[in-house]
Copies of this chain bind each other. A is one copy, B any other.
Amino acid sequence: MQLLAEREQELRERYGISFRITGIASRRLGWIADANGLKVEKDVGRPPSAASSQHHENSDVRSWLASARADVLFEATSLNIETGQPAIDHIRAALEHGAHAITANKGPIVHAYRQLRDLAAARGKRFLFESTVMDGVPIFSLFDQLPAIHLQGFHGILNSTTNVILSEMEQGLSFDEALKKAQALGVAETDASHDIDGWDAAVKTAALVNVLMDYPIRLNEIAREGIRELTTGAVRNGRRDGWPFKLVCRAKRVGDRVEASVAPEKVLGTSPMGKISGTSSYIYFETDIFPGLSITEENPGLHATAYGMLADFIRVTRDDSP
């Protein structure tokens, strides 16, 4: 919301987009809506001054969307790995209400991609999620621009927390010390088991397989191994020998199936994956036209993920323009 506020003038002048924030829902504020617009302070912490706004005491997303007269929903709840909820319900409600749905939550793509994609198409709305993989780097949009291409597989490094931890362990820190440092840097969350055990990387892999390879893979079909078992000694020796450990995501077509995995691998230190350090990320796509097409995101800025949602917002307004 901060980036949206910062770029308000540019959106208006360069893209002809003007907008009002007519609804906010958060754990702290509850469900607030005012179709005339809420006054949102630049620092999002403060509650909106909304004398006339309606508070929806229950979490009835449908009545909230109606009160807000929402045209676009930004969905940013946190990931529920097992079910993808409540994000799936929020997005479904938005599309049925007649709003575009933009999410930064990978759950809906892993658990309900085809359903939500088809619902969006049926309603003439967009379901976009560019910020879910590699921050806001337009990976999904890139493939919109690669029509009639056949994606055979991919590999890459998509989880920052484990990458930072491995880099720190190469310097001699224990796993626990490295984790604390990643947390201090703001890269790892308080409960980082989600990253460490490879879930985040597996969810991103599933999202890419579901969307870009058009194969509905389930999370439990992805062979998954985290970095918890790696000792500092093994990690240091790997780097010293020129074959550092990286948490690598892989997917490939095998017959009419797609096989995918997430696991620590020793990669050649001078290879593109071997050189991905800190919060950078990398993906290599194998296609029929381009045997190797790779994208590296080095040191993403603070706004990279928010930017993904902003770019999705501009995309949906392009569709709506006359």
Residues of A within 8 A of B (CB): 7, 10-11, 14-15, 135-138, 141-142, 144-149, 270, 272, 275, 280, 288-301, 303-304, 307, 310-311, 314-315
Contacts and interface: CB of A to CB of B under 8 A. Distances in A.
A145 B304 CA distance: 14
Given A10-B148, A311-B147, A314-B147, A295 B293 contact: yes
Give the oligomeric copy count.
2
Contacts of A141: 142, 145
Contact of A301 (B272, B275, B290): B290
A96 to B, nearest CB: 24
Given A15-B147, A272-B296, A294-B296, 16 more contacts: A7-B148, A136-B290, A137-B293, A144-B145, A147-B311, A148-B310, A149-B307, A270-B270, A270-B275, A289-B300, A289-B307, A290-B300, A293-B295, A293-B297, A295-B295, A296-B296
A283 to B, nearest CB: 11
Contact of A146 (B135, B138, B290, B293): B138
A295 B147 CA distance: 18
